[in-house]
């Protein structure tokens, strides 16, 4: 993937879907793709794990990748304790970035797929993980996961992705898709903030970044000089997540408070979901 023709194919333009406002949703996703491509060119590792001390290309690649191993091992321990997944053939890492967690999931599953909206993130993921033969990385610039049939995966995983989407409807749509593509012996595990401080809600760096970008300032300049970036941060309250999961035919079997993100938002969870 990667050339213009293939990119065009993977967008929502050529398909009908039930999502209302399809064209505005297409525009939002194209804009999201541009934002993440820009971040991937400027400082990809910090865009993924935005620790203050790692800003401006300060992540060492080995240390960065080791955080993914720790995260994947922890998740696999949690799902193992829940007796899931019963099979270990296939896993999906939705919004995989450069494959930080995907890479370690390949240790547990026969085949792992990482998908991301940003072609540039996928390019880096392929470069960093080229030696692993049971991983594939794909670009998906769609508001759904229709590239995968129902019941495709034993594990569907997503972390630090849903909060960066343009609106709550798109978040809920992807959650429904996670449940559709997991099989009934498998498990979905996703992380999502429930509440942010009002300061974060009303004053974001994105609000300054976007108009300046439109005025013609380069993204790299805005980042280097003022630390500005285009990342969104949205939340979905826990009760709305429960409703979304239930409506999609899922059942939340465990919810864990996502404490490691405490500095970025007030309340967040990791949800463990099976098909009901």
Ligand X SMILES: C[S@@+](CC[C@H](N)C(=O)[O-])C[C@H]1O[C@@H](n2cnc3c(N)ncnc32)[C@H](O)[C@@H]1O
Binding residues for ligand X, per CB under 6 A? 32, 36, 48, 95-97, 100-101, 115-118, 121, 140, 159-161, 164-165
Q: Which residue's C-beta sits nearest to ligand X? A: 97
Asked if the peptide bond before residue 31 counts as cis, ω within 30 degrees of 0, the response is no
Residues 6+ apart with CB under 8 A from 220: 41, 42
CB closer to ligand X, 13 vs 251: 13
CB closer to ligand X, 87 vs 233: 233
CB closer to ligand X, 60 vs 86: 60
- Of 159, 173, 179, nearest to 49 by C-alpha is 159
- Look-up of token digits 């993924």: 48
* Minimum CB distance to ligand X, residue 6 (Å): 16
* Minimum CB distance to ligand X, residue 106 (Å): 14
CB closer to ligand X, 6 vs 86: 6
* Minimum CB distance to ligand X, residue 125 (Å): 9
User: Cα separation of 46 and 49, whole Å?
Assistant: 5
Task: Note whether 135 and 129 are within 8 A (CB).
Answer: yes
* Minimum CB distance to ligand X, residue 66 (Å): 12
* Minimum CB distance to ligand X, residue 159 (Å): 5
- Of 184, 162, 166, nearest to 174 by C-alpha is 162
Burial code (b: 16+ CB inside 10 Å, e: under 16) for 220-231 equals: eebbeeeebbbb
CB closer to ligand X, 18 vs 184: 18
Residues 6+ apart with CB under 8 A from 208: 226, 228
* Minimum CB distance to ligand X, residue 145 (Å): 9
CB closer to ligand X, 32 vs 188: 32
Q: 132 by DSSP, 3-state: which?
A: coil
* Minimum CB distance to ligand X, residue 115 (Å): 6
Task: Annotate 228-265 with DSSP letters as a single string.
Answer: ----------HHHHHHHHHHTTEEEEEEEE-GGGTTT-
What is the arrangement of strands in the sheet containing 267-275, beginning at the earlier edge strand? 135-139, 111-116, 90-94, 153-158, 182-195, 267-275, 250-257
CB closer to ligand X, 121 vs 182: 121
User: Cα separation of 78 and 147, whole Å?
Assistant: 28
């Amino acid at each position: 993937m990667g050339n213009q023709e293939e990119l065009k194919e993977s967008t929502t333009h050529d398909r009908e879907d039930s999502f209302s406002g399809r064209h505005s949703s297409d525009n939002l996703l194209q804009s999201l793709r541009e934002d993440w491509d820009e971040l991937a060119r400027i400082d990809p590792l910090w865009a993924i794990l935005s620790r203050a001390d790692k800003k401006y290309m300060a992540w060492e690649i080995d240390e960065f990748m080791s955080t993914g191993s720790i995260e994947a091992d922890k998740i696999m321990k949690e799902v193992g304790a829940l007796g899931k997944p019963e099979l270990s053939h296939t896993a999906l890492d939705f919004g995989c970035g450069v494959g930080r967690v995907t890479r370690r999931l390949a240790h547990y599953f026969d085949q792992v797929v990482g998908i991301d909206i940003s072609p540039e993130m996928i390019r880096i993921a392929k470069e960093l993980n080229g030696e692993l033969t049971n991983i594939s990385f794909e670009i998906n610039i769609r508001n759904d996961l229709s590239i995968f049939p129902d019941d495709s995966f034993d594990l569907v995983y997503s972390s630090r992705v849903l909060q960066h989407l343009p609106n709550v409807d798109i978040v809920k749509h992807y959650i429904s898709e996670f449940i559709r593509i997991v099989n009934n012996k498998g498990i979905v595990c996703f992380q999502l903030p429930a509440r942010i401080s009002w300061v974060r809600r009303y004053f974001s760096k994105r609000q300054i970044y976007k108009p300046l970008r439109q005025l013609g300032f380069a993204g790299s300049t805005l980042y280097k000089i003022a630390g500005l970036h285009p990342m969104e941060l949205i939340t979905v309250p826990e009760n709305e997540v429960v409703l979304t999961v239930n409506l999609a035919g899922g059942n939340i079997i465990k919810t864990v408070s996502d404490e490691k993100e405490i500095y970025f938002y007030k309340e967040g969870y990791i949800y463990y979901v099976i098909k009901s």
